[in-house]
Structure 1
Amino acid sequence: MDTKSQFRQRLDTLLEGILIIDFDWRYVYLNDVMVQQTKASKEDLLGHTIMESFPGIENTDIFKALQQCMTERTVHHFESHFVYPDGSLRWFDLRIEPDEAGVCILSLDITDRKSMEQSLAASEKRFRALIEKSADMKTMATADGRLIYGSPSITKLLGYTFEEMRNEVIFDLFHPEDLRWFLDKRHTALSKPGGTFHFELRVRHKDGHWLWCEGSVTNLLNEPGINAVVSNFRDISDKKKAEQQREFGRNNLYALINNSNDMMWSVDVDHKLITSNVPYNKNIEMARGVRIRQGDDVMEGAPPELKDWLTVNYSRAFSGEIFTETVFNEKIQRWFDVSFHPIKKDGQVIGTACHSRDITDQKRIEEELLENNSELQKTNLELDRFVYSISHDLRSPLTSILGLLSLIEEETQETSTLEHAQMIRTGINRLDTFIKNVLDYSRNNRTGLAVEEVCLNTMAREVVTSLCSMRDAANIDFLIDFDVKTPFHTDKQSLTTIMENLVSNAIKFHRKDVEKRFIKISGKADDDSLQLEVSDNGLGIDPAYHEKIFEMFTRLSSRADGSGIGLYLVKQIVEKLQGSIRVESSEGNGTTFYITLKNFAYER
């Protein structure tokens, strides 16, 4: 074998591919490694140009370097990828040098290395994204506590930039009350590689307020590539605040429960004590002579009667019933309200909460109120009877006086005497109306409801007939319009009194200067109620007095006759008939009263 053959055989054993191209861009030589890299045979390449073997190569950075080396005889060393005709891609470390035949290319396949680098870069990118996007704060510090790395979340949560904290001692940010404990724990962790501990402490925000943080510290000073004390911690201020609120709530609830005189306790379905307050514990100890503790059987030591009573009521509560029992303790002569409320877990009753309150004083007050109410009702009844009797007796002499007045008016022709007689008659009529209202008021309070079917149109006509002789009723048109879809049942006398008062008021307060004076009584009745309206085009009522007119002895005009009790009586009767009344009116524009009354047809 000649020297040239030996040399080429040696080149074939190298890990690098070797390729020689002449000045016409033809393959002159390539070793076995280069043949593998080109994915072709030597026969297909030798004697052919690289443009023929790899169409489009002249558009690559590799060809530009080859061209520059070919013409300028310069050396090039770089890494580049190459896309094969089949679309596959590989990376190469290329060294291009001038050769006496043209150009020599040394090529090392670095595809695996590049894949590892790309994977490492992607992994590092993901890791950095996790670190930088995480809400947790992460730091790396020296053994003496100087900061060498801080994640972006530190700026977001503590307000400091990394530049402000770089090489600063992180211990300066810790609350003085927490610092000694933290330093002791850190010293222990630093005494052995990989040492770690968890912490909760307060860290100062840039604006001066304190944040509660929890996290961990790990000693990685001996870890190659890290060589730092690594901390990972998060803001738990809201969690701490909630814990403090819960603790306050527990303490407050404990204080409320145990500062009460009421007994409170809970038992499971086996009658074992779950919880209890101080009054319950004291009561049990006084009654049974032993202290009761959590887990004890609450039935043990109880008198037979109490045990039976508790068994029945505990069973009711264990079945899911919520209830309160009022009991009398004959031994101590006291009344108690005892409440039971089931305790559930996952939909199952596991026990009951109980509450017992001494209501002896309340019972005594209730009994006194009942007794006083009874006496008051008796007194009111006697008073109503007295008022009714007196009012009834007063009407008889008034009738006699009116008879005498009629004789005087028939027998005399003197104008002054007739005027005086008329004045007397007006006063007597006014007094008689007042007495009638008092009698109606007394009857309303004294009697119950005599429910019967009422013909509304007939009743309205009778009311109008009885009042059309009033002095101011002349030239007023009375309109009656009822739409009765179903028979209406109520107390006839009470409804008559309502209509009489409303119509008589409409007559008294009508305008004499208006054409087509009218008073309209209308309504609609159905199964549920009567919607009654009494309207007129009279003087009207200022809205400021719409509520006041229903008060007793309220009179808006001194010029008109009236006792000031009529509308008060109307409202009282309406409420007794389970209804309501309202008024719409303004001065000079008439008045409408709207009354809703219950239909008692189905309650007789």
Structure 2
Amino acid sequence: MSNELEILQRALQREKAARKQAEQILEGKSRELYELTQELKNVNTKLQEGLTEKSSELQGVFENLVDAYVLMDISGNVIKMNDAANELFGYDIDKEHLNVLSLIYEEDYQYAMSSFQKLVTKGSFSDYQARVNTKHKGVRTVHINASLIYGKKNQPIAAQGIVRDITEELEQKRIFEEQKKQLSAIVENSSLGIALTQFGKILQTNKAFQNLLGYTNEELLQKEVKDISVKEEFKESAENMQKMNDGEIDTFSVNKKYVKKNGTIFWAKTNVAAVRNTDGSIKYQVALIEDITEQLEFEKQRDRLVKNLEKSNKELNDYAHIVSHDLKSPLRSMNALLTWLKEDYEEILDENAHHSLNMLIKKVDKMDLLIDGILRYSSIDKINQPQQKVILNTVVTDIIDVIHIPSHISIEILTELPSIEGDTFRLQQLFQNLINNAIKYNDKEKGVITISCEQKNEFWEFSITDNGPGISKKYHDKIFQIFQTLDDKNESTGVGLSIVKKIVDVYEGKIWLDSIEGEGTTFYFTLKNNSFL
């Protein structure tokens, strides 16, 4: 009996020990479970916060996406659109139903269907470009990248697409390409040689440049600028190129020699302009080359001709003065001898002899006037007087006060005459000759001469009118030629109106006349307005 009791007690002790051990294990596991629960709660909180944050970020991205975003079901019904999509397509899906099939442009329908099939079979498509119908903006061209959205069972449940309106972009590209073609046509057909270079290496040339040098474009692409330049003259261009590379200048122009393929040399005016990158460094240079060989030769010939002409003019001027001196001296002697002869033999000579002597004296006087006229005519365009303000009202008034005007002739200035920049002496000669002519040839009992002026665009137009005998139309051009006169009056040399025309020519004007025989004549002349004050 005692043995059984002992066995029972040991069993109870073992049970207590086992229970205590189980309790300790359970307590440990409970503590671990509690700690794990708390940890799971913390993780769940963090996950919830992260999910909320990511949802907020995603919503921000969705709302602020520059391109249009469209979410639709598998049947094409639009579920959601961002603001950019609303703006592009013009629909508010909260108020109206929209299926993407209604947006497809009719002519692009087959292309749209094949792209949608690709989306269904492959799960996405990219670089889709087609036209769409919008509610307010009409037909627009768009670029779309789309992809399917899958559910838990890996079945497609929706589709999404990023849509970009490229209408303006395509139009700008079209305009750019058109301008590019136009520019290429201009460059290729330009009479100027055009070359694109980079640090002395030839990158591209036009036909004119190839023709100038006798190379093909392919041959020129293998060369540098120095290869087609005269070595001795390359230095100046190289210095300018260095300044351009250093950013000191953007353009320069030089006259330099080029060497053709056949070895001959020609002169060319070369204008070089820099095309720079955004950081200011040289991207390339554009050179315009114009063959000026003939031009330089022409300029040399012109310089020689000008020098020869100046020499000839000086010689002619000197000759005119020498001849006039040599002619005037015997004329004076002839005049003196005839005067003495007339005085010494006044009582002996009959009326016919006196008349003959008087005629000879007048001829001598006329020759003297003719020589003076030649001298004035030859010096008109050779007197380099300083330009000054000339008040023509004063000039003409002074002429009227100084010259002899017969009592039966009146002169009136009808309009205010302008002030001009010029040579007082020449302008005085101009008006005095015309006024003297109007007086000298007036045959009326009461002669009337009027002077007026009016502005005609770039010129002032002057007129001097008389009521004299008039001039036949056949003489209208001839009278401005030197030594041309309409009658045999002794005092007429035929130089006066030629001097008038030469002065008008100096002032870049024209002279002409209107006349009615028996009623009178109007002389018109113009002087360029840009020389007036």
TM-score, normalising length: structure 2: 0.49
The one of the two structures with greater contact order (alpha-carbon pairs below 8 A, sep at least 6) is: 2
TM-score, normalising length: structure 1: 0.44
